[in-house]
């Protein structure tokens, strides 16, 4: 997901002509949505179990990436990217807090620090791998077609993750 956010910012700069500041601010809605809703999704997952949220969250996030396929030249952030970014942010919020709760709830409280560290390390490694692989999907030059390929690849992977979560996660409630 970090890779796709970086790709969106780079596309806004290199293809859309946005400044580095505006391109960086383009992903601010993800932070705002996560800040506003993560605790609620975490509480709901604590009450109902993580399966629904960890299944639906990636599916919703994948739809957000598919909405970004409306990006064309000239780039209009509000109409072409913002709707997809907001849907992606909602899906991410549905996933992250329940994931953390599931990880921490699956082990003894005295091992919570180790579990949290492993969870964070896996997340960082996945982000780095996504960024490294992104060039294979987008091609040598960053253009609209490459951006679209990156969004499709990310959406497919997120949706596969949602299906895997639906099949593999069992609620303990």
Predicted confidence (pLDDT) per residue in 90-135, tens digit: 999 999 888 877 777 777 778 778 877 887 888 788 878 877 787 7
Q: What is the DSSP string of 20-50?
A: HHHHHHTTHHHHHHHHHHHHHHHHHHHHH-S
Q: How far apart are CA 73 and CA 75, in angstroms?
A: 5
Q: Please name the residues in contact with 160: beta carbons below 8 A apart, sequence gap of 6 or more.
A: none
Q: Helix (H, G, I), strand (E, B), or coil: what is residue 172?
A: coil
Q: How far apart are CA 115 and CA 105, in angstroms?
A: 10
- CA nearest to 45, candidates 88, 87, 95: 95
This prediction's pTM:
0.86
Cβ count near 39 (within 10 Å): 12
Q: How far apart are CA 34 and CA 31, in angstroms?
A: 5
Predicted confidence (pLDDT) per residue in 9-59, tens digit: 778 888 888 888 888 888 899 999 999 998 899 889 888 888 899 999 999
Residue 56 contacts residue 87 (beta carbons within 8 Å): no
């Amino acid at each position: 997901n970090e890779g796709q956010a970086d790709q969106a910012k780079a596309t806004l700069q290199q293809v859309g002509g946005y400044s580095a500041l505006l391109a960086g601010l383009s992903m601010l809605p993800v932070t705002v949505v996560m800040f506003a809703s993560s605790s609620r999704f975490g509480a709901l997952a604590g009450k109902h179990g993580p399966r629904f949220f960890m299944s639906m969250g990636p599916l919703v996030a994948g739809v957000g990436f598919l909405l970004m396929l409306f990006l064309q030249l000239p780039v209009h952030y509000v109409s072409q990217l913002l709707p997809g970014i907001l849907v992606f942010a909602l899906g991410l919020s549905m996933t992250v807090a329940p994931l953390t709760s599931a990880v921490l709830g699956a082990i003894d409280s005295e091992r919570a620090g180790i579990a949290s560290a492993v969870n964070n390390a896996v997340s960082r490694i996945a982000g780095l791998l996504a960024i490294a692989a992104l060039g294979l999907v987008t091609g040598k030059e960053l253009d609209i077609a490459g951006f679209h390929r990156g969004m499709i690849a990310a959406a497919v992977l997120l949706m596969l993750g949602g299906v895997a979560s639906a099949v593999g996660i069992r609620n303990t409630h």
